[in-house]
């Protein structure tokens, strides 16, 4: 999908002429402007023109920038939610090698992202890249 198609889809979702037709196994958006019944298919969203003129002057969505913002938001949510829990759990672990092993285990099990584990390890003075026997 490109940025212009995403901009068109978003504008259609705001449009008062957009409706959804339902069948037994599928549903698809339609445009009811002017009493018509235009199916808003993928091909139309890529190459067509809005019959109501709502697509005029649209600016393409910067998909890369949005993806980066969403990824940053996920990391920030993880940081807010999991850092206090991890720090409290690690407060009971006194050995550096045990902290190291526990952080790596949480990353392996998917509880923590590698980036957040690295941040916490740095705060605690644990080197996650070091081999601990």
- pLDDT, tens digit, 9 for 90 and up, residues 15-34: 999 988 887 777 888 899 98
Please state, in angstroms and rounded to a whole number, the distance separating the CA atoms of residues 5 and 9: 6
Of the chain, the percentage scoring pLDDT greater than 70 comes to: 97
How would you classify the pairing of strands 18-22 and 38-39? unpaired
Does the pLDDT value for residue 36 go beyond 80? no
Q: Provide the pLDDT confidence category of residue 133 given band limits of 50, 70 and 90.
A: low
Which neighbouring-strand residues pair with 29?
20
Task: For residue range 54-71, list pLDDT tens digits in order.
Answer: 999 999 999 999 999 999
Reported for 53-58, long-range contacts at CB under 8 A and 24+ positions apart, including other chains, are 54/11, 54/12, 54/15, 55/8, 55/11, 58/4, 58/7, 58/8, 58/11
pTM attached to this predicted model: 0.64
């Amino acid at each position: 999908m490109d940025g212009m198609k995403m901009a068109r889809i978003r504008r259609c979702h705001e449009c008062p002429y957009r409706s959804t037709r339902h069948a037994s196994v599928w549903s698809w958006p339609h445009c009811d402007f002017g009493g018509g019944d235009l199916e808003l298919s993928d091909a139309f969203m890529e190459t067509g023109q809005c019959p109501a003129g709502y697509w005029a002057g649209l600016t393409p969505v910067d998909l890369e920038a949005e993806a980066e913002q969403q990824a940053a938001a996920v990391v920030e949510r993880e940081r807010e939610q999991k850092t206090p829990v991890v720090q409290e759990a690690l407060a009971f672990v006194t050995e550096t090698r045990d902290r190291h092993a526990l952080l790596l285990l949480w990353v392996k099990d998917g509880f923590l992202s590698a980036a957040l584990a690295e941040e916490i390890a740095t705060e605690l003075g644990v080197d996650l890249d070091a081999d601990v026997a």
